[in-house]
Amino acid sequence: MLDERKSAILRAIVNQYISTAEPVGSTHVAKYDPGVEVSSATIRSEMAQLEREGYLIQPHTSAGRIPSDKGYRYFVDNLSTPGRLGPTQRQEVKEFFSTSHFAIETMLHDTSRLLAALTSQVGVVIGAVPGATTVVGAQLVKLSPNSGVLVFILSSGDVERIEIEIPDGTDEILIQEASGYIQRCLVGTKWGSACGKLDEVTDPQLDGIIRNCQSALRAAQDRNKINPSSNHVFVDGASHITDAFGAVDTVRNILSILEQQYLVVSLLKDILDRGSSVSIGSEHGEARLADCSIVVAPYSKDGEPVGTIGILGPTRMKYSEALATVAIVGNQLTDRLSETN
Amino acid sequence: MLDERKSAILRAIVNQYISTAEPVGSTHVAKYDPGVEVSSATIRSEMAQLEREGYLIQPHTSAGRIPSDKGYRYFVDNLSTPGRLGPTQRQEVKEFFSTSHFAIETMLHDTSRLLAALTSQVGVVIGAVPGATTVVGAQLVKLSPNSGVLVFILSSGDVERIEIEIPDGTDEILIQEASGYIQRCLVGTKWGSACGKLDEVTDPQLDGIIRNCQSALRAAQDRNKINPSSNHVFVDGASHITDAFGAVDTVRNILSILEQQYLVVSLLKDILDRGSSVSIGSEHGEARLADCSIVVAPYSKDGEPVGTIGILGPTRMKYSEALATVAIVGNQLTDRLSETN
DNA sequence: AGTTGGCACTCTGTACAATAGAGTGCTAGA
DNA sequence: TCTAGCACTCTATTGTACAGAGTGCCAACT
């Protein structure tokens, strides 16, 4: 724990550094920060101590100080006043969620865009993973002489679509029979355990089709487990990182991370699992993101958490604003998803 | 038309500049290019002429020359030998398309990744837009007391999903009736004209639901026209542009374009409409892409073009390789999409 | 007439020194 | 315990000199 004065100095340095991106010197703190009422010399000695304790870093001997990850962490946990959104932004969020969005996918995609626009940083939305949802509709349709598509409608409103092979010479009637049978068997069951529910049928020809469906269904679900929700990650506003970082190498590193969506998923998930909502610099173990912080919030549907939203920006970010934004968008998203029930 | 020698010199300059990214001087051309057998002085005077004619640019008085957009264009149209893929890459493409992909969306997404990996540039895939496809399956399902989802399966194998409101107190039986009615009316019709095909029914309660469906369907289709296939653009490998451009500003410009997917769609579309497959520098009228070229190829399903793939990279790119890659991936994609029929 | 070697000229990038500015750490005194 | 003052350090900027690369032009050669 830092004493009152050290806290005030650290707060002043973080605030100034966030807005100027320049190392902060003792004189600046003494002159321009109303919260610190001592001379620059005193501040200097306090700063030297803060540096020894790891809260500050001095880029070189005769430069000011910048906050370390630990410094930011202390700032976020103890010194930052909970932020509120400006009226314009409040309005923007409200308007966004009052506009009808049809497909969930589209809405989540647009939400990542909203986050990016609000914060001028990278917006990330991780989609709901089906699993505990139940099957509310099912249909098998023939597309060509030997292929078809099996469509499931889930209680979440999502649609799962699985391509299957159909034995040559299978006629339309049989397909319809199979479709009806699948519907009767699976509607009402949990999506996660659906593939076990297809019992054997007497007609050998019909049974062949059903077996095909069953194995395709199992394959699709396995694939989904191995590579969880690879098409459920939405990233927008990547160009904003060029505003925060002047070095192309840094930009490349961050872009390359954003391209590996499974990495993004696990990063955000880890933060939530740790019970936190902010991850600063090297706290997430990814070296390429050493200069970045991530702010996340979960969102729910019907009281059950189903996904995560977040923003990614430089460690030098306005945390209180970011936290407020992510929180409000998460809440609104939750409301929007749950309202129809 | 350029004479033999000018052609050889231009070719040499383009090739060298592409591989070194440095302005090319007369000495280099004379010394290291086996296709040019004259002295550097002669080359100098030819280069001066090529510059006067607009094929070359001199960054400053005492620098070598670099190709202008016009120079690249001439190179691509007349001087470039049709490229072939290396065996490793051939293998990579083959392997990619032989691996099963279930959902089309996933496959297209992965295709953009493949393009990026093959060329080390930005890969773009624009998805097939449904329209002339026919409806092969339809189902209405209730999700909550007053909302439901209407699902259409199209002959392309795509699934369209539309959320609708359901009047309070509508019971399950009525929903099923409506579902059956919609199925009877619309299965077999063209997707583009589907919403006109829902005739009036006598039962007023049933008619209410049908009307809801009809207007939702119309709204969804209109939305799709205004904002064509916004969720059908897949971009991957954006980090590669940091390899091509050292200036963060350039990177930002390009990223900001890639984020506006409708822009990407119209850019690629314009190139194909112009009957071309390469667009160089300022040829596409977007200032932010002045230093980029785009190489595209269409892909088809059952003989009918349904989408576009392409790569985006610096004007200084290996065009023959790029063209070959895009062509082969386009062909393979076409084959893969058409094979099931 | 076309080609070539030679030469003066131009421009960039780099290395180096000098300087101004910002900031520190330390110390003596209030 | 705080503060004013001072010597010191490091960076960033500016100016200068210089090497290197490349050009354009011209006279001579084939």
- Per-residue pLDDT of chain A (341 residues), as tens digits, is 899 999 999 999 999 999 999 999 999 999 989 888 999 999 999 999 999 999 999 999 999 999 999 999 999 999 999 989 999 999 999 999 988 666 777 889 999 999 999 999 999 999 866 556 788 889 998 887 778 888 998 887 778 888 888 888 788 888 889 999 998 889 988 887 777 788 777 888 888 888 888 888 888 777 665 454 445 899 999 999 999 999 999 999 999 999 999 899 999 999 999 999 999 999 999 999 999 999 999 999 888 888 999 999 999 999 999 999 999 999 999 998 887 54
Rounded Cα gap, residues A309 and A125, in angstroms:
4
| B135-226 CATH pick, 3.40.50, 1.10.3470, 3.30.1360, 3.30.390 | 3.30.390
Q: Identify the CA nearest to A179 among candidates A203, A148, A154, A204.
A: A148
DSSP three-state, residue B295: strand
- Overall fold of domain B87-129+230-338: Beta-Lactamase (3.30.450)
Compute the 3-state secondary structure of chain B and give helix, strand, coil in percent, each to the nearest 5.
55, 20, 25
Rounded Cα gap, residues A299 and A232, in angstroms:
14
* Bridge partners of residue A56, in order along the sequence: A67
What pLDDT, on the 0 to 100 scale, is given for residue B224?
64
A329-338 as b/e: b if 16+ CB within 10 A = bbebbbebbb
What pLDDT, on the 0 to 100 scale, is given for residue A230?
47
Max distance between CA atoms of chain A, in angstroms, equals 92
What pLDDT, on the 0 to 100 scale, is given for residue B162?
85
Judge whether B297 and B326 are in contact, CB under 8 Å.
yes
Chain A residue closest to B247 (CA)?
Answer: A248
In chain A, which residues fall in CATH 3.30.450.40? Answer: 87-129+230-338
Q: Which nucleotide is nearest to A29 (CA to C1')?
A: C23
Segment B242-272, tens digit of pLDDT = 999 999 999 999 999 999 998 999 999 999 9
Query: Chain A, 222-241: which have a CB under 8 Å from a chain B CB?
Result: 223, 230-231, 236-239
Using alpha carbons only, give the angle B276, B280, B283 rounded to the nearest 5 degrees: 80
B-interface mutation test, from A229, A234, A248, A260, most B Cβ less than 10 A away: A248
pLDDT-flagged residues of chain B (< 50):
226, 228-230, 341
Rounded Cα gap, residues B253 and A300, in angstroms:
36
Q: Which residue is nearest to nucleotide D5 (CA to C1')?
A: A41
- Overall fold of domain A4-79: Arc Repressor Mutant, subunit A (1.10.10)
Q: Note whether A243 contacts B: Cβ–Cβ < 8 A.
A: yes
Which residue type does A146 have?
A: N
What pLDDT, on the 0 to 100 scale, is given for residue A132?
65
Q: Check A220 against B102: CB less than 8 A apart.
A: yes
In chain A, which residues fall in CATH 1.10.10.10? Answer: 4-79
Q: Which residue is nearest to nucleotide C6 (CA to C1')?
A: B41
